[in-house]
Amino acid sequence: MGNRFICMTKKDSKEPGSRSKRMGRSQRKLLADEELLHRQALSMALHQHQLSQRFDGSMSRRIGSTSSRRRNLSDPFSNGKQVPDFLENIKVKKFVLLHGEGFGAWCWYKTIALLEEAGMLPTALDLTGSGISPTDPNGVTTLAEYSKPLIDYLEKLPEDEKVILVGHSTGGACISYALEHFPEKISKAIFICATMVSNGQRPFDVFAEELGSAERFLQESQFLVYGNGKDKPATAFMFEKQQIKALYFNQSPTKDVALAVVSMRPTPLGPIMEKLSLSLEKYGTGRRFYIQTLDDRALSSDIQEKLVRENPPEGVFKIKGSDHCPFFSKPQSLHKILLEIAQIP
């Protein structure tokens, strides 16, 4: 599918030493902006359960409600910069951001702010049973049900519009499902250390080398949730706090880890155990790109390399020093790659 290329991002510079005054001011402003983002997102997470009881809707509507306009100078996320001319030439500016297992729309807060500042139109969705979705994750049994917020979004999209889909981890399965059902509405599909499976594979199969076979996992894992009773099949899984920190956040800021620990929910088992049916005529015509995270303990770089080898995308990008959550650990590097992919003709 097209020419396969690889782009390697540079590590975010952290070395001490003298810098120019301009660089010093820039770094201080970046730190101040990030501190504000942290405080606002952490506050949102701490009130998440109360909001879920009062709010009639989904996180996607709350975030998407501001995503269609540029932020003004009084907005706390704005840095007052002009959008570079070359970004104005991007034809598809709508990004739909899909979280991975346990996460929700909240995890994209840095990416949303950066994309909006660049003049893009990001929307983050809560998949069914995730984020502040009112649905009990233990009752979500199919990939179609899990992906319903995305399918509803695509169905309502005007006929002449397309979007760039971005999926993290198991959110990649939802992207594949959407490519099979709505290929005409998806300009590009971006998999971030994600389950980019082949026809007939289950999303869980990607993690089999770390977690063992699906059968063994369902029999022996201590992280299973039995929503219908211990005498019934498991309905979801949820790692303990220490496992979450070790697997997902070995390079992420402590404040983002705190946000995640209070916000993550159990992941429905049914969707990740379902085999995908993907055709060459639909899924096969999609433009897929893969972003590898090279310091990832949840999905090793070797397994990610195997994924792109077995199901080659159009392009492969790599982020050095990123754990399984580059939207936390390397947000600027991730942002630059997203814009670079958006510009590809």
- pLDDT of 62-94, one tens digit each? 333 333 333 332 333 334 455 566 677 789 999
pLDDT of residue 170: 96
**Residues 204-219: tens digit of each pLDDT:** 988 876 655 556 666 5
Cβ contact 253:326 at 8 Å: no
* pLDDT of 36 above 90: no
**Residues 142-176: tens digit of each pLDDT:** 999 999 999 999 999 999 999 999 999 999 999 99
Task: Domain ranges for the chain, please list them.
Answer: 5-10+23-343
Least confident of 9-13, 37-41, 200-204: 9-13
| CATH class of segment(s) 5-10+23-343 | alpha beta
Determine the average pLDDT of the residues in 237-259.
Answer: 94
Q: Which residues are catalytic?
A: 169, 296, 324
Residues 6+ apart with CB under 8 A from 327: 107, 108, 110, 111, 168, 192, 334
**Residues 300-343: tens digit of each pLDDT:** 999 999 999 999 999 999 999 999 999 999 999 999 999 999 99
* pLDDT of 118 above 50: yes
Cα 343 from Cα 57, distance rounded (Å)? 33
* pLDDT of 295 above 50: yes
Pair of tokens at residue 149:
């917020």
Distances (CA, A) of 230 to 4, 218, 269: 48, 13, 15
